[in-house]
Amino acid sequence: MAEFLIHEGVLKEYAKMIIVNEARGTMRLAVANPLTKEEWERLKELFEKNERDELTPEEAEEFLEHARKVVRECGECIEAWKLHLYVTMVRVFVRKKHLEMKEKKAQQGTAQAWRESQSSSNK
């Protein structure tokens, strides 16, 4: 559902801080201990990288796998679902950003090739 809402433009990037604050509240799940200490540390690192807009698509997938594990272990906790929803949205934002960057590079490459063909045909 989150992926659909983002894709359709219902949820915007600027809403990210509201979502981040809600997701940070899920850290109380650490008491339920669904993840290892190392996994919680990695989850924290991924949160921080996302806040700086530095997540790669691969890291976004890893982030989602951690969130899925939390839901599997603590599915009765609303915080587990909030975390999952947040991370799903993060993954979509990261994918969308990287797709747009690829498309932009492809367009720039096409424009460059066109300019080069024009300059060589004018000679």
State the amino acid at position 17 in one-letter form. M
How many Cβ atoms from other residues are within 10 Å of residue 97's Cβ?
15
Question: pTM surpassing 0.75?
Answer: no
Confidence class of residue 17 from pLDDT cuts 50, 70 and 90?
A: low
- Please, are residues 7 and 42 in contact by the beta-carbon 8 Å criterion? no
Please state, in angstroms and rounded to a whole number, the distance separating the CA atoms of residues 51 and 35. Answer: 22
- Please, are residues 51 and 6 in contact by the beta-carbon 8 Å criterion? no
Helix extents (H) in the chain: 2-7, 16-24, 37-51, 57-74, 78-121
Average pLDDT, the chain: 81
Mean pLDDT confidence for 90-109? 89
**pLDDT of 52-86, one tens digit each?**
889 999 999 999 999 999 899 888 888 888 889 88
